[in-house]
Chain A
Amino acid sequence: MSYFEECLTLGRFLSQAEKEALYRYLLEKNRDTYTSQASALLQNGYLKVGFANGEIQYGIQDHYVYYTARKIHSAEFTPALRQLKLNIPDFMKTRRLQTFFAQAEVDVMSNYPLPGANRQPDEGYGINAIPFYDLNYYSNGAGKIRGLMKRIASSNSEILTKLRTL
C-alpha cells in the first residue's frame, strides 16, 4: 500500500500538515484530469465525480463554483459549504477550478475515507473554514502577504516528499 493509499483510509485522523501536503500533491498529480474536469464543468455547468468513499457534485451558479458531497450509497448531500468566484477571464478559470477540485477532494477524503483500521468519530461534515487555495489559510486569517511568506517557507514538506516517493 502506498502512503497516498494509506492517507485515503485515515479520514479524521489526517493532520492539518497531511491535508495541506495532500492538497499540493493532488494538484500536481491530477493536473491533466482536473483540466478535463474544468472544461466539462464550464461547458455543462455541472459535474459529478467519485473520490475516496464519497461522491462530489460540482455546479456553477451566478459566477460561483460550489460543491456538495455525500458518502457513497448515502441519500443526503452536504450543504454547499465552499464556493469560489469565477467572474474572471476565461484563461484563468481552469487554474482556479483545479485548486477548487483539489480542495474538494481533500475535504471529501477526510470526511468519507475508504474503509480502514481507524474508527471514525461521528462528527458531521467538517472542513477547514479557510481553504488551502486562499493565502489567508497559511496565516490563519492574518492576511495574504503573511500567508504567502509562510506558504513559501513550507513549500517542500517532508510529507509531500513522502507522498511523491512512497
Chain B
Amino acid sequence: MSITFPVKQILKFKVPGVLALAILAGQLALTGLPTKDHPLCKLKVERPHTSTYTKERKNLDVLKLNITSECEVEQKYTILNADIQAIFENTQITAHRFNAELRTGVGKGRTEARFLNLLVNCASLESTMYLGHASGEVHLANGKVEKVSGDSESFVSEDCKIEAK
C-alpha cells in the first residue's frame, strides 16, 4: 500500500492581502521608516584675516577668525574648539589653538551661534598662508546634541605671522 502526501496542500500558503498589509505596517511601526542621515547644523568657517578694526582701535596687528554654527532648528548654544592652520617652511602646522568657547543661539529663531572675535596677535607682518578650522557640538533647544566640524576650505595668504605655540 502506498502512502501519498498532499504536497500541494502543505506548500501552498494563503495570506490574505489585508493581513499582509497589517504585518508590513506592524514591522514599520517597530523599526521605523528608513531615514536619511541629514545633519541639522553646519559650521561656516571664514578664512583667517587681519582685523582692521582692532588695528584702528587698539593699534594691534591681529589675525581674526569668524565662525558661525547654523542650524535648521533652534539651538541653545554651541561649544567650539577652533584653531588656525598655517604653512611654515612648506609644512602644515597648527599655528594657534583657541581656548574652547561657548556662544548662545541668536538671530531669528535662535538658529545661529556666532563666534566673531577669535583673535590672535601677529608677531610680525611677514606674509603667511592660513586656514581656519573648528569642531565642536551644538546643544539644540530640544535637548539633542549635534557634532559639527568645518574649515575655511583653502589656505590664503595674510600679512601676519603668528607665533606658533
Report whether over half of chain A's contact residues are helix, strand or loop; otherwise say mixed.
loop
Asked if residues B115 and A129 are in contact (CB atoms below 8 Å), the reply is: no
Asked if residues B102 and A81 are in contact (CB atoms below 8 Å), the reply is: yes
Q: Does B132 contact A (CB under 8 A)?
A: no
- Chain A, residue nearest B100 (CB): A129
Q: Separation in Å of the A149 CB from the closest CB of chain B?
A: 15
CA distance A52 to B114 in the complex (A): 23
Asked if residues B100 and A124 are in contact (CB atoms below 8 Å), the reply is: no
> Total number of A-B contacts with CB less than 8 angstroms?
62
Q: Separation in Å of the B128 CB from the closest CB of chain A?
A: 20
Q: Does B42 contact A (CB under 8 A)?
A: no
Given known pairs A13-B57, A129-B99, A140-B99, the reply for A78 and B104 (CB within 8 Å) is: yes
Asked if residues B99 and A128 are in contact (CB atoms below 8 Å), the reply is: yes
> Per-residue CB proximity of A1-14 to B under 8 Å, as 1/0?
00000000000110
> Per-residue CB proximity of B98-137 to A under 8 Å, as 1/0?
1111111110000001111101000000000000000000
Report whether over half of chain B's contact residues are helix, strand or loop; otherwise say mixed.
strand
Task: Supply 17 A–B pairs (Cβ within 8 Å), ascending by A.
Answer: A13-B58, A16-B99, A79-B104, A81-B77, A121-B114, A121-B116, A121-B117, A122-B106, A123-B116, A124-B77, A124-B106, A126-B101, A126-B104, A126-B115, A127-B102, A128-B100, A129-B101
Number of interface residues of B (CB under 8 A): 23
Q: Separation in Å of the B99 CB from the closest CB of chain A?
A: 5
Q: Does B162 contact A (CB under 8 A)?
A: no
Q: Does B147 contact A (CB under 8 A)?
A: no
Q: Does A115 contact B (CB under 8 A)?
A: no
Q: What are the 7 tightest A-B residue pairs by CB atom distance, in nearest-first order?
A: A129-B100, A124-B106, A124-B104, A125-B104, A121-B116, A126-B103, A123-B114
